[in-house]
Amino acid sequence: MFKRSSGVLAHVTSLPSPHGVGTMGKTARDFVDFLAAAHQTYWQVLPLGHTGFGDSPYQCFSAAAGNPYLIDMDLLVEDGLLTADEVRQGDFDASPDTADFEQLADTRWPLFRKAYSRVTPEMREKIAAFTEKNSEWLPDYALFMALKEEKYHHMPVYMWPDKDVRDRKPAALEKVTAELRDEVDFRIFLQYIFFKQWTALREYANEKGIQIIGDIPIYVSADSSDVWTHPKLFKLKPDRSPKLVAGVPPDYYSATGQLWGNPVYNWAAHKAENYAWWIWRMKSNMALFDVVRLDHFRGFAAYWEVGADEETAINGKWRKGPGMELFNAIEKALGPVPLIAEDLGVQTDEVKELLEESGFPGMRVLIFGFTPDYDNEHLPHNYKPNSIVYTSTHDSQTVCEQIMDICSEPEKQFAYRYLRTSHAEAMGWSAIKCVWASSANIAMTTLQDLLSLGADSRMNTPATIGGKNWRWRVRAEALNPTVSSMLGEITKTYMRG
């Protein structure tokens, strides 16, 4: 059972930085200091993985590898791998409000390669130890990325022309590993740096009394080292392209459902291996985070399976998931793991029973409650203690956008009454007070709601790709002592910190 507490959701990329994207450097520590000053317990981040097409942290090249763009350039200067002048010359005219991933793709990699060229013998020994410690996934991931980016010109794995490499024939792998040895080592170096910086940041946060909530996407990308390395664990065609893909049926977000394109799991194969891959995945994440959110929890009870050739998610079918058998296997291997279940959307009795049996806290979101319906589970008077509740989420409108731009007039008036909002108080603060006062053990707000921001600050719009998704950033001046003091007072008033 989690204690009464609170926190803020903000992805690392959204933090201030002079180098075009939030990173694991000084401004991340400044954000930790901001949370500590506000008497918070949690900092929640989105998945930290190496992002692919669309820059979504939920579509990554590996279930374990970190995103190189989160590497802090100034820390590389401190390590003697770059000079301050080189970093300045590699910078671009970055907006403080958005992450420009295209510019990062053009400017970061030359600096990364320069840093790699300066690795000392002492560091090589540390990298070798890091590689050995992560031998379950790191060499395969590094080879996958070297093949993808250098040999096959960014083609997805199922389009690789060399069938023996695609099918992981030992002789073929030995040959390309030797051919691409330096490229493989370069990518191992980047992961060493990523995990070194993240470990230091997490230790700093923990020392300040801040725990980090991480996020595990239920699925992995079709174009990932995981699918390439473990094809039997997914429902694939002979060429390793998806045969059946994941999504959700028509819902609140989309009239045609959401077609994610991720290959669905072959749960029978996972069961035959006693869920070893999932145990490894959970162990890897618990080495990074203090608490883990399980994205799309309902997929563990039953999941929506769609033919890979379908254009929408409408023509799918529900299939039975692994249920408690998976979580029992994880607990048997690792002991009790602090997990949060993202159980949003239409929930069946089957999903509710799984949540109850697991004991994991489920999620509720205030902005989904602005209907004058007493029984709406997203209204704070209906929150259960064993839950984690949010003002809004990274996938939704902000509080201000929902009330001002989305709600009907009756819903808007109800929201005003329920939140007891006045013109003297920013709407985000009214929402935070309302959620903080609830009986839920964990209360969370997004950074956008903390600052009472509107539609321009939305992090992601589900069922869309590209555009403004995943790009929002906060300005440094917004994270000031006045804001932290106000949040701290609310947190103390409602006895959460």
Q: How many CB atoms lie within 10 A of CB 168?
A: 14
pLDDT tens digit sequence for 439-461? 999 999 999 999 999 999 999 99
Write the pLDDT tens digit of every residue in 107-134.
999 999 999 999 999 999 999 999 999 9
CA dist 236 and 357 (Å) reads 32
Residue with tokens 């109800």: 414
Distance CA 366, CA 440 (A): 12
DSSP annotation of 262: E
> What are the pLDDT digits (tens) for 399-431?
999 999 999 999 999 999 999 877 788 999 999
Catalytic residues: 295, 342, 395
Query: Percentage of residues in the chain with pLDDT exceeding 70?
Result: 99
What's the confidence (pLDDT) of residue 484?
Answer: 98
Query: By C-alpha distance, which of 36, 46, 7, 35 is closest to 342?
Result: 46
The closest alpha carbon to 303, from 285, 323, 327, belongs to 323
Nearest to 286 by CA among 348, 323, 339, 243: 339
Residue (of 343, 217, 228) closest to 278 by Cα position: 217
More confident residue, 1 or 161: 161
In which element (H, E) is residue 145 found? helix 138-146
DSSP element (H, E) containing 304: strand 302-307
pLDDT at 347: 82
Residue 243: the pLDDT is 97
Report CA Rg, the chain.
23
User: Which of 395, 393, 390 lies closest to 469, judged by CA?
Assistant: 395
Q: So what's the pLDDT on residue 318? A: 95
Average pLDDT over residues 449-477: 92
5 near 389, Cβ under 8 Å? no
What residues form DSSP beta bridges with 364? 389
Nearest to 475 by CA among 21, 97, 30: 97
Q: Which residue has the tokens 């295209």?
A: 102
Convert the pLDDT of each residue in 337-383 to its tens digit. Answer: 999 999 998 789 999 999 999 999 999 999 999 988 889 999 999 99
Residue 464 has a pLDDT of 82
Cα–Cα dist 151/149, whole Å: 6
Q: How many CB atoms neighbour CB 173 within 10 A?
A: 16
Fold of 5-63+198-493: TIM Barrel (3.20.20)
Average pLDDT value for the chain: 95
How confident is residue 253, by pLDDT bands cut at 50, 70 and 90?
Answer: low
Residues whose CB is less than 8 angstroms from the CB of residue 111 and which lie 6 or more positions away in sequence, other chains included: 73, 76, 82, 86, 87, 90
Which residues make beta-bridge pairs with 361?
none
Give domain limits for the chain: 5-63+198-493, 64-197
pLDDT per residue over 262-300, tens digit each? 999 999 999 999 999 999 999 999 999 999 999 999 999
* Predicted confidence (pLDDT) per residue in 34-80, tens digit: 999 999 999 999 999 999 888 999 999 999 999 999 999 999 999 99
Helix (H, G, I), strand (E, B) or coil at 365: strand
CA 322, CA 300: separation in Å to the nearest integer?
6
Q: Which pTM does this prediction carry? A: 0.96
List Cβ neighbours of 185 (8 Å cut-off, separation of 6 or more).
142
Going across the sheet that includes 244-248, the strands are 258-263, 244-248, 302-307, 316-320
What whole-number distance in Å separates Cα of residue 331 and Cα of residue 353? 18
Low-confidence winner among 254-258, 374-378, 421-425, 469-473 (lowest mean pLDDT): 421-425
Residue 379 DSSP SS3? coil
DSSP code, position 223: S
User: In this model, does residue 255 exceed pLDDT 90?
Assistant: no
Task: Return the closest-CA partner of residue 44 out of 389, 466, 417, 349.
Answer: 389
